[in-house]
Amino acid sequence: MKIKKYRVFLGVLLALAILAGACAGVLAWLSGRLQSQEVAESWSGESGQRFAQVSVYFPMTQLGTVDQVRSFRSSLPEKLREVSLESTDSSQMWVDAYSTEAKLEAETSYGSASAAVYAVGGDYFRFHPLELVSGSYFSDDDLMQDLVVLDEDMAWRLYGGMDLTGKTVDISGRQFTISGVVRREPDFASERAYPGGGRLYMSYAAYAQLLGGETEPGIRTYEIVLADPISGYAEKLVSDAFGSGATQGMDPGGEESPEESAPDGLGAVILQNTGRFSLERIFSVLGDFGVRSMNTQGVVYPYWENAARLIEDYMAVVLLLMLLFGALPALFLLVVAIELIRRGWKKLKAAVPVWVENRRKRRYEARRGA
270 phi/psi in degrees, rounded to 5: -115, 120
200 neighbors 154 (Cβ within 8 angstroms): yes
Q: What is the mean pLDDT of the chain?
A: 85
pLDDT recorded at residue 279: 92
What's the pLDDT score for residue 90? 57
Residue 235 lies in a domain: yes
Secondary structure (3-state) at 206: helix
Q: Write down the pLDDT at residue 255.
A: 41
**What one-letter code names the amino acid at 72?**
F
The CB-side HSE value for 1 (13 A sphere, CA atoms) comes to 0
Predicted confidence at residue 278, as pLDDT, reads: 93
Distance CA 252, CA 274 (A): 10
Say if residue 190 is in the same domain as residue 65: yes
- 220 and 176 fall within a common domain: yes
Provide the 3-class DSSP secondary structure of residue 12.
helix
Instruction: With CA atoms as reference, report the closest residue to 51 among 85, 10, 23.
Output: 85
Nearest-angstrom CA–CA distance, 287 and 264: 29
Residue 139 lies in a domain: yes
Amino acid at residue number 257? S
In a domain, residue 30? The reply is: no
Residue 312 shares a structural domain with residue 351: no
In a domain, 326, yes or no: no
Structural domain includes residue 56:
yes
Count CB-CB contacts under 10 A for residue 310.
18
Domain shared by 40 and 77, yes or no: yes
Do 265 and 359 fall into the same domain?
no
Pairing verdict, β 174-183 and 131-135? antiparallel
Q: What is residue 347's predicted lDDT score, i.e. its pLDDT?
A: 84
Residue 214 lies in a domain: yes
What would you measure as the largest C-alpha separation in the chain, in angstroms? Answer: 116
Question: What is the reported pLDDT for 191?
Answer: 87
In this prediction, residue 335 carries a pLDDT of 87
Q: Are 156 and 77 within one domain?
A: yes
User: Could you give the number of structural domains in the chain?
Assistant: 2
pLDDT at 89: 54
Give the model's pLDDT for residue 295: 67
Nearest to 177 by CA among 190, 163, 189, 167: 167
Residue 78 domain flag: yes
Q: What does the alpha-carbon distance between residue 51 and residue 224 come to, in Å, rounded to a whole number?
A: 10
178 and 308 in a single domain? The answer is: yes
Contacts with 139 (C-beta within 8 Å, 6 or more apart), sequence order: 123
Q: What is the pLDDT along the chain (370 residues), one digit of tens a residue?
A: 667 777 888 888 899 999 999 999 999 999 988 989 999 998 987 677 899 999 999 999 899 999 999 999 999 988 888 887 765 455 588 999 999 999 999 999 888 899 899 999 999 999 999 999 999 999 988 878 899 999 999 999 999 999 999 999 999 889 999 999 999 888 889 888 887 778 999 999 999 999 887 788 999 999 999 999 888 999 999 999 998 544 343 343 334 443 333 334 468 999 999 999 999 999 988 887 767 766 667 888 999 999 999 999 999 999 999 999 999 999 988 888 898 888 888 888 787 787 877 777 777 777 766 5
Q: Are residues 358 and 267 in the same domain?
A: no
Alpha helices (H) along the chain = 2-31, 39-44, 66-82, 124-127, 152-159, 188-193, 204-210, 233-242, 279-287, 303-369
DSSP secondary structure code for residue 295 in this structure: -
Is 23 inside any structural domain? no
Clarify whether residues 296 and 150 are in a common domain.
yes
pLDDT at 148: 96
Instruction: Give the span between the Cα atoms of 295 and 302, in whole angstroms.
Output: 14
pLDDT value at residue 91:
59
Same domain, 133 and 243: yes
306 and 342 part of one domain: no
Residues 235 and 290 in one domain: yes
Q: What is the DSSP letter of 130?
A: P
Domain ranges, residue 240 = 35-317
